[in-house]
Amino acid sequence: MTLDWCPGIREACDHWRDAPMLQQTFEALERTLEENNDACIDCAKTVVEVICRVVAESFHTQQNPLKPPQETPSLSDWLSAAVRALKLGDIRDEKFKKLVSSYYKLADALNELRNRAGPASHGRDPYLERLAEHHRRTAVLAADAIVAFLHKAYLDTQLDPITSREPWERFATDNALIDAHVALAVDAENGNTPTLRVLLPSGDELPLTIEVSRLLYLLDRNAYVEALNAARGMAAPAEKPVEEQGDP
Mean pLDDT of 103-131: 73
pLDDT confidence band for 28 (50 / 70 / 90):
very high
Q: Which amino acid is at 198?
A: V
Whole-number pLDDT of residue 2 = 84
Question: Is-contact 47 25, C-beta < 8 A?
Answer: yes
Check pLDDT > 90 for residue 246.
no
Question: Is-contact 22 32, C-beta < 8 A?
Answer: no
Whole-number pLDDT of residue 15 = 92
pLDDT confidence band for 148 (50 / 70 / 90):
very high
Cα separation, 29 vs 37, whole angstroms: 9
Whole-number pLDDT of residue 248 = 47
Select from 55, 118, 45 the least CA-distant residue to 82.
55
Give the three-class secondary structure for 240: coil
pLDDT confidence band for 247 (50 / 70 / 90):
low
Whole-number pLDDT of residue 127 = 37
How far, in whole angstroms, is CA 208 from its chain's centroid?
29
Give the DSSP letter of residue 6: -
Least confident of 99-113, 148-162, 169-183: 169-183
Number of neighbouring beta carbons within 10 Å of residue 138: 16
Q: Output the CA angle 152-156-162, nearest 5 degrees.
A: 120
